[in-house]
Structure formats: C-alpha cells, structure tokens
C-alpha cells in the first residue's frame, strides 16, 4: 500500500491549520486556513492543503465531514470566509467559478453533471470553450479567427475523446452513455479546459472493483500524459491508499490528519473518526 511513500513527507505528522503543513517547496495549489460557516454550522474551518505540480493527493473523511464543501470553496462555488487560496502562485480566493476554471482548475462532480442533452462531442467542446475568445461578430459573420478557433476546438475535443475511447459515441447525447463512460466523459470534459489541477469528487462512486482498478490506471495516466495535478475525494480506501501520494483527512470540517497513506492509515484519530471511539 505504501509504495508511494516519499521520504520528504514522512516528517509531517502534525495535523491542523498551520501554513505549510505539507513541506512542498512550490505548491501548485496552496490553501491556507480556509473556512466557511453556514449559520452556526462550521462546515469547513482552518483547512490547509498543498498539492505540488503533478501531485496526486487525496481528501478523505466520513460522511458530512466537509469534503465536497472544501471542493466548492476551492472552485469558487462558495466564497471562503477565512484564509487564502493560491493556484500556481496566483491568488484565486474571491474569484468566481468561471475565472477559477480559466486560472487552471477543473473539477468533476460527485453526482455526475454532464450536459445530458448535448452530444458527447459537444460536452468536451464546451470544456475547451474557456481557452478561446468568442465574439458575437466572429460567430455571426464567421471571421477567419472564428473558423480557425472552432476547428481547433473540434480537433482538440476529438483528440480527447480518442484518448478516452469515446470517439465512436461522439454524436450520441451524453445522457445515453453507460454510467462508467459518463464518469470518463466528465473527466475528458474537465481536461478540455486545460487545467493545471483536476479535482475529482468521488470518481469511483458506484463502480465495481474492476472498474475501480481501471479508474486508478486512468488517473495515473492523466498525470503522466497531461501533467495535471490531481486532488481527489474518495470513499474507497483501497483506491485512495493505492494511488494517493498524500492524504488529508477531514472530520467535522477540520483537518484531523495529514500525511502519506501509511501514516494516515495508522493514525488513531482517523480510525476513531471512521469507527467511533474505542470502548
């Protein structure tokens, strides 16, 4: 399980919000002490994260721990009330979701959110939308710049569909795909935005063991071939322990443990959070 252990991360035992909780020299994503409350409920507080460029990190925790809320904070769906977030050295807290997508963060959703009535191809083409300039004049009069850009988007989308083996279904509505293909299409769509960091929200939910193994390989190939960093939320401990380099554990909105899989696995606080107090 611990074959991804890296020496420079083992020193880090202290949980909690102090800056630089992970000793990564230049983090791709760095969140420091972010938090949000809904009324009296502190959904997430003092969350600090650091994902290195091309890193593959996990965010785990029991149900209701605030994992998806943390994703929503990172992607700008909610505005963080405390703390700061930087992506590739640029402050992104306070930006709106589409600006964060443009800055280089893409995500998938826990309950798949494809554009169901649009074709598989159009879903991916929409992902590439954010990298283009779309003027009304260009669209209505089909200027050379517009034509070139539409061609580029089409070529890029077809290439991505080829990579994910979805090309043969490019013209079908996304909602007609089988579940596993929909999950992969969501990843393809996110990659079309040319992200630096990809957030995957429970990518293995509802998959059988074989599909999960395939997913693990997919994620590892993603980093290799697209050079993206990955931060994933996952309930399947086997998968998380297998592929993640660092894991952050949330419980009741707070970080209770952070470190390499081997460390997290044996932390009494994590075991307590998942199984309840001993005795």
CB of 257 to other proteins, least distance (A): 28
Residue 79 or 134 having the CB closest to other proteins: 134
Contact 263, 10 (CB under 8 A): yes
Q: What values do phi and psi take at 136, rounded to 5?
A: -65, -40
Instruction: Classify residue 115 by its DSSP letter.
Output: -
Q: How far apart are CA 19 and CA 211, in angstroms?
A: 37
Residue 43 or 106 having the CB closest to other proteins: 106
Cα distances (Å, whole numbers) of residue 39 to 36, 42, 80, 169: 10, 8, 14, 46
Contact 29, 89 (CB under 8 A): no
CB of 5 to other proteins, least distance (A): 25
CB of 20 to other proteins, least distance (A): 28
CB of 1 to other proteins, least distance (A): 21
CB of 234 to other proteins, least distance (A): 15
CA 190 to chain centre: 9
Contact 65, 45 (CB under 8 A): no
CB of 41 to other proteins, least distance (A): 21
Q: Name the β-bridge partners of 56.
A: 230
CA 83 to chain centre: 20
Residue 46 or 97 having the CB closest to other proteins: 97
Ranges of beta strands (E only) in 88-234 are: 90-91, 105-107, 197-201, 229-233
Contact 94, 100 (CB under 8 A): no
Residue 1 or 152 having the CB closest to other proteins: 152
CB of 84 to other proteins, least distance (A): 21
Residue 77 or 262 having the CB closest to other proteins: 77
Residue 18 or 117 having the CB closest to other proteins: 117
Dihedral of the CA atoms 98, 203, 122, 191 (nearest 10)? Answer: 60
Residue 141 or 268 having the CB closest to other proteins: 141
């Amino acid at each position: 399980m611990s074959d991804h252990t890296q020496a420079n991360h083992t020193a880090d035992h202290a949980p909690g919000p102090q800056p630089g909780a992970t000793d990564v020299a230049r983090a791709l994503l760095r969140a420091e002490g972010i938090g949000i409350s809904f009324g009296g409920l502190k959904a997430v507080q003092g969350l600090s994260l650091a994902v290195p460029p091309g890193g593959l990190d996990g965010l785990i925790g029991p149900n209701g721990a605030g994992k998806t809320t943390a994703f929503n904070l990172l992607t700008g769906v909610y505005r963080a009330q405390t703390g700061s977030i930087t992506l590739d050295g640029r402050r992104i807290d306070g930006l709106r979701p589409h600006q964060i997508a443009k800055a280089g963060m893409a995500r998938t959703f826990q309950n798949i959110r494809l554009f169901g009535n649009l074709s598989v191809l159009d879903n991916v083409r929409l992902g590439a939308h954010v990298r283009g300039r779309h003027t009304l004049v260009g669209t209505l009069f089909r200027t050379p710049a517009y034509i070139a850009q539409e061609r580029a988007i089409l070529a890029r989308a077809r290439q991505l569909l080829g990579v994910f083996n979805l090309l043969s279904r490019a013209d079908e509505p996304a909602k007609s795909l089988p579940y596993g293909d929909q999950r992969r299409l969501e990843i393809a769509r996110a990659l079309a935005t040319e992200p630096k960091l990809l957030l995957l929200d429970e990518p293995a939910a509802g998959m059988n063991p074989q599909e999960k193994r395939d997913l693990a390989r997919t994620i590892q190939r993603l980093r290799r071939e697209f050079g993206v960093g990955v931060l994933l939320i996952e309930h399947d401990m086997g998968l998380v322990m297998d592929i993640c380099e660092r894991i952050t554990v949330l419980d009741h909105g707070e970080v209770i443990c952070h470190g390499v899989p081997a460390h997290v696995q044996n932390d009494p606080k994590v075991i307590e959070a998942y199984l309840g107090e001993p005795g």
